[in-house]
Amino acid sequence: MYSSDLINKFKTFQTPFYYYDLGLLRLTLETLKKEADKYGYNIHYAVKANANEKIMRLISSYGFGADCVSGNEVLKAYECGFEPSKIVFAGVGKSDGEIISALKCGIFCFNCESVQEIEVINSLALSLGKTAQIALRLNPGIDAHTNQKINTGLADSKFGIDFNLLEDTIKEISDFKNIKLIGLHYHIGSQILDFEPFKLLCERSNEMQEKLLALGYELPEINLGGGLGVDYYNPEENPVPEFQKLFSLINQNLKVRKGQRVHFELGRSVVAQCGKLISKVLYIKPARETNFAILDAGFTDLIRPALYGAYHKIENLTSQSSETKIYDVVGPICESTDVFVKHLELKGTSRGDLLSFSSAGAYGEIMASQYNLRKLPNVYYSDNE
Ligand code: LLP
């Protein structure tokens, strides 16, 4: 799927580098907007997936909101054109400083994960003469059927307030004068491709709504979080995720009362497919059972395989060989976990070949580190071609 012009361009760039196809990002954003608008759904881009300024500015230009998990993400979202009235702030451990800066920024809503956190937000809001809008993040006790390292909605997860404690929590916070409870929030996990958990989430949300009504609360906001998965195996065939399928399933299963608004916090599905990591082969080392293809990119540049055992499609862009061989594709970091994939069949690969990692736009650049005092990769965009 790479044109020879693009590959020739890549040959002139300093490796390793991230490459963003902004045309694909635009197509993804247009599709997302069209599908969300059908139901009047509110989308907040989950900044944690990719906080590259150019990417964020492009996303904010479509009028989406932002979902942030740190004070710096809130500030960055604001700087990149996201309206404060569309910024939500989640996280189990918001520091006082982060809460104060978000209050000053005038964000839409704090997604709160404990009574103690709400108490702190209340007192900080009081000291600033403000009222903070909050949503309770409930842990719905749902298995998202995804990689266990990114499954967040189960009872033993640190995230959210046990849904069984909704009533108690509401009672405990009812005296706080500088907060306004406006909704409930959930997030069950990431890279979800089996839609059944989203259906269960709707059922849990409906049940919680009934509970709230019985307590005399009609809250205007329902936030279902993020989690929609992407196709890591066939990224060219499925470059745009299944927004339509997700939203129509939610529309069919979620009970929404008059005046209520539904929110999503999508990260991966917005940016994963538009980004690639391109790396050069430094050395080929034959071993007893494999050949090591040693690259100039390592887990410092794309940590998902080492951290979660995640799969990214790898292709040799420049091999002239007509034969294939088996390789362990590894990085240069001094750690044995710096392995992208074992026993991969690739076209005959030699020193100097360029390898591409697909679907690296989400949780790629943003999770890069300088371990081993490595330089962070360069970034190039299709628009500069
Ligand atoms: N909302 C909340 C509260 C979250 O914790 C997350 C992701 C999202 C939204 C966005 O989820 P998404 O639409 O991107 O699935 N680094 C891992 C993924 C960690 C996800 C953390 N939370 C990975 O590379 O797979």
Q: What is the pLDDT of residue 146?
A: 74
Beta-bridged to residue 20, according to DSSP, are 275, 381
Between 349 and 384, where is the model more confident? 349
- Mean pLDDT across the chain, nearest whole number? 96
Closest among 224, 226, 220 to 254, alpha carbons compared? 224
Query: In this predicted model, what pLDDT tens digit does every residue of 100-138 receive, in sequence order?
Result: 999 999 999 999 999 999 999 999 999 999 999 999 999
Homologous superfamily of the 4-17+273-381 domain (CATH): Lyase, Ornithine Decarboxylase; Chain A, domain 1 (2.40.37.10)
* Residue given tokens 């009362």 in the structure block: 257
Ligand 1 near 280 CB (within 6 A): no
Residue 171 C-alpha to ligand 1 middle, in angstroms? 30
Let me know if domain 22-272 sits in CATH 3.20.20.10.
yes
Each domain of the chain, given as residue ranges in start order, spans: 4-17+273-381, 22-272
Between 130 and 149, where is the model more confident? 130
Structure tokens at 275: 């980004």
Residue 21, pLDDT > 80, answer yes
Provide the residue type at 210 as one letter. Answer: E
Q: What is the pLDDT of residue 131?
A: 98
Between 156 and 305, where is the model more confident? 305
Query: In this predicted model, what pLDDT tens digit does every residue of 326-367 receive, in sequence order?
Result: 999 999 999 999 999 999 999 999 999 999 999 999 999 999
Ligand 1, pocket-test mutation among 265, 304, 308, 359, most atoms within 8 A of CB: 265
Query: In this predicted model, what pLDDT tens digit does every residue of 210-227 receive, in sequence order?
Result: 999 999 999 999 999 999
CB-based burial of residue 116 (10 Å sphere; 0-12 exposed, 13-18 middle, 19+ buried)?
Answer: exposed
Structure tokens at 252: 């069919």
* Alpha-carbon distance values, 87 to 28, 46, 73, 175, 211 (Å): 21, 10, 10, 26, 27
Q: What is the pLDDT of residue 147?
A: 74
SS3 readout for the chain: CCCHHHHHHHHHCCCCEEEECHHHHHHHHHHHHHHHHHHCCEEEEEHHHCCCHHHHHHHHCCCCEEEECCHHHHHHHHHCCCCHHHEEECCCCCCHHHHHHHHHHCCCEEEECCHHHHHHHHHHHHHCCCCEEEEEEEECCCCCCCCHHHECCCCCCCCCEEHHHHHHHHHHHCCCCCEEEEEEECCCECCECCCHHHHHHHHHHHHHHHHHHHCCCCCCEEECCCCECCCCCCCCCCCCCCHHHHHHHHHHHCCCCCCCEEEEEECHHHHHHHEEEEEEEEEEEECCCCEEEEECCCCCCCCHHHHHCCCCCEEECCCCCCCEEEEEEECCCCCCCCEEEEEEEEECCCCCCEEEECCCCCCCHHHCCCHHHCCCCEEEEHHHC
Residue 214 C-alpha to ligand 1 middle, in angstroms? 32
Query: In this predicted model, what pLDDT tens digit does every residue of 59-115 receive, in sequence order?
Result: 999 999 999 999 999 999 999 999 999 999 999 999 999 999 999 999 999 999 999
Per the CB < 8 A criterion, the answer to whether 67 and 190 are in contact is no
Query: In this predicted model, what pLDDT tens digit does every residue of 309-330 receive, in sequence order?
Result: 999 999 999 999 999 999 999 9
Q: Which pLDDT band, with edges at 50, 70 and 90, does 2 fall under?
A: confident
What is d(CA 221, CA 134) in angstroms, rounded to the nearest whole number?
10
- Closest ligand 1 atom to residue 267 Cα is 14
Ligand 1, pocket-test mutation among 232, 268, 357, 359, most atoms within 8 A of CB: 268
Q: What is the pLDDT of residue 113?
A: 96
Ligand 1 near 32 CB (within 6 A): no
Q: What is the pLDDT of residue 148?
A: 72
What is d(CA 88, CA 85) in angstroms, rounded to the nearest whole number?
8
What is d(CA 280, CA 40) in angstroms, rounded to the nearest whole number?
45
- Closest ligand 1 atom to residue 90 Cα is 3
Residues 6+ apart with CB under 8 A from 49: 267, 268, 270, 271, 272, 361, 362, 363, 366
Taking residues 197-207, report their average pLDDT: 97
